[in-house]
C-alpha cells in the first residue's frame, strides 16, 4: 500500500530537490484535487492507467479534463506544463548549431513540430560551414496544406548571404511520405534557389513516429 501523503511529497521536494521526485510525485504537485483522495493518490492512479508521462502528454485538453480526479483547472495546468516542456526542448541556441546530416535536423525540429496538429514549414539558412544563420518559419496552415512563397524564401537566403538552405515541415497525419504538393514545392524552391547558386540540401518531413528525407530517398539531388 502507498502511504505517501501530499505533505511528504512537498517535504521531499524541499529537502532533496525536484530531481529526486518520482513521476507521480511531480504530477501530484500540478493537481488541484478535492474529496477523499490525495493528490499523490490521484497522480499515481493516472499514471497507472495511462502507462507513461508521454502518453499523458499527448492527450488534448478536452481529454485531460475527462480523466478522473483531474478536472478543468488541473487539466489546464498539465497542458501548460507539457507545452512548456516541449518549447524548452525546441529552444536550442541556433547560433551554436552545425548541421552535419539529416539526424541533426530531426533532433532540432522534432520536439517542436512532431506533436503539432497543424502543418508548419521552416527553413534553415546555413553558412559555408553548415552553421545555422537563421531558423525561420515560412508557412503555417491546416492539417494537410501549406502555402509557401518560394521567392520570399530565396530573397531571405540572399539577404543572409546563405550558402545553402534546408526545408523542414511536419505532417500531423503521421504519414511521413511526401504528397504531390510537397514534391512540386521542393522542385520549385530548388530551382529558384539554384538561380542564385544556393543549393537546397534537403526537405525533411517530420511526424510523431517517423521522418522522411527527400535527399536520402533520392527525390532531391544537389547540383
pLDDT of residue 63: 78
Sort strands 200-206 and 132-140 into parallel, antiparallel or unpaired: unpaired
- Confidence (pLDDT) at 121: 95
Residue-range domain boundaries for the chain:
6-89, 93-213
Chunked mean pLDDT (size 10), the chain, 223 residues? 82 88 90 81 86 83 74 86 80 67 91 87 96 93 77 96 97 94 95 96 95 94 74
Look at residue 214 in the predicted model and tell me its pLDDT.
Answer: 97
Q: Which residues contact 57 (CB under 8 A, 6 or more apart)?
A: 82, 85
Question: Domain 6-89 carries which CATH code?
Answer: 1.10.150
pLDDT at residue 91, rounded to an integer:
66
Q: Give pLDDT, residue 95.
A: 44
All cell numbers assigned to 50:
495511462
What pLDDT score was predicted for residue 17? Answer: 86
For the stretch 121-132, pLDDT in tens is: 999 999 999 999
CATH 3.40.1790.10 for domain 93-213: no
The pTM (predicted TM-score) of the whole model is 0.64
pLDDT at 90 (0 to 100): 67
The pLDDT assigned to 94 comes to 45
Q: Give the DSSP letter of residue 217.
A: T
Residues in a beta bridge with 123: 136, 167
Amino acid at each position: 500500500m502507498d502511504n505517501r501523503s501530499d505533505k511528504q511529497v512537498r517535504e521531499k521536494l524541499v529537502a532533496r530537490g525536484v530531481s529526486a521526485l518520482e513521476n507521480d510525485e511531480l504530477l501530484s504537485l500540478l493537481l488541484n484535487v478535492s474529496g477523499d483522495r490525495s493528490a499523490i493518490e490521484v497522480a499515481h492512479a493516472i499514471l497507472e492507467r495511462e502507462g507513461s508521462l508521454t502518453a499523458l502528454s499527448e492527450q488534448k485538453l478536452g481529454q485531460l479534463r475527462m480523466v478522473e480526479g483531474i478536472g478543468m483547472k488541473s487539466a489546464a495546468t498539465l497542458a501548460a506544463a507539457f507545452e512548456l516542456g516541449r518549447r524548452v526542448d525546441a529552444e536550442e541556441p541556433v547560433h551554436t548549431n552545425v548541421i552535419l546530416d539529416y539526424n541533426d535536423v530531426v533532433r532540432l525540429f522534432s520536439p517542436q513540430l512532431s506533436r503539432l496538429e497543424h502543418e508548419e514549414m521552416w527553413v534553415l539558412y546555413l553558412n559555408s560551414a553548415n552553421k545555422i544563420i537563421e531558423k525561420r518559419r515560412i508557412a503555417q496552415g491546416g492539417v494537410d496544406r501549406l502555402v509557401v512563397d518560394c521567392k520570399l524564401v530565396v530573397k531571405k537566403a540572399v539577404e543572409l548571404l546563405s550558402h545553402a538552405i534546408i526545408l523542414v515541415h511536419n505532417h500531423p497525419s503521421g504519414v511521413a511520405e511526401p504528397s504531390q504538393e510537397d514534391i512540386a514545392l521542393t522542385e520549385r524552391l530548388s530551382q529558384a534557389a539554384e538561380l542564385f547558386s544556393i543549393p537546397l540540401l534537403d526537405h525533411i518531413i517530420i511526424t510523431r513516429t517517423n521522418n522522411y528525407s527527400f535527399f536520402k530517398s533520392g527525390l532531391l539531388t544537389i547540383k
